[in-house]
Amino acid sequence: MYILLFFVLHWFLSLFCQTFFLHRYASHKVFSMSKLWERFFYLVTYVCQGSSFLNPCAYATMHRDHHAFSDTEKDPHSPHFFTDVFQMTWATVLTFRDHVKRSEDGCGGRYPQWRLLDRIGSSIPSRILFGVAYTCFYINFATYWWMFLLLPIHFLMGPLHGAIVNWCGHKYGYANYDNKDHSKNTSPFDFLMLGELFQNNHHRFPNSANFAQRWFEVDPVFPVLKLLHFARVIRLKKV
């Protein structure tokens, strides 16, 4: 029971940080926040992503390239130029490393950056320590051998989420708009990926806080954004 609860919490907390802080805030600036809150969510992202922490500046610049060159040869992770999801993910990892190196020269104030935490979070010792912590938790609470098969998912949670979104969101589902690419809305009820699989909608309206556009579509993160807006934690551009 503890193992499954931990797995679900890690899955959704890591994913929430990715869609809330890295994607909607760092990449698209669909809302603003004070420097104090930015540092708070920066730290939360580091803790929740753990061994698969993604540098926010590098994530943002790579993601902007994805929008600028969606499903072309210059797209850093279009599934239409790879034979399988593993090749696409590995190519994305290599491209991300290049963006991390560029971020070391500074983000020019365009994207969030906390150099100390970026160095710590991207370091091998930090990733190993988180991996050891996950493993120790499983050793203490796992009741069946098969539960240990979930450990690799914990180790690679961030890249795994990205692989699911980039592969499925540009191959499977339906399209509300002709975006001149292969973006799809994989499901009208995207609770498992917290709205990230509304790729067709998102590529049409990249700066919209709500990834759902049709009456039957549900973006579970958008109500959270509205709540944080009214609590004055963030300021949405449009409510």
Percent of the chain predicted with pLDDT > 90? 94
* Mean pLDDT confidence for 108-112: 87
Q: What is the torsion angle, in degrees rounded to the nearest 10, for the CA atoms of residue 67, residue 226, residue 121 and residue 157?
A: -70
Query: Can you give the pTM of this predicted structure?
Result: 0.95
Query: Which structure tokens are listed for 94?
Result: 């290599």
Q: Quote the mean pLDDT of the chain.
A: 96
Average pLDDT over residues 209-232: 97
Distance, CA of 239 to CA of 226 (rounded, Å)? 7
Closest CA to 220 of 210, 205, 229: 210
- Alpha carbon distance 10, 8 (integer Å): 6
Quick one: 64 exposed, middle or buried, by C-beta within 10 A (0-12, 13-18, 19+)?
Answer: middle
Quick one: pLDDT at residue 107? 84
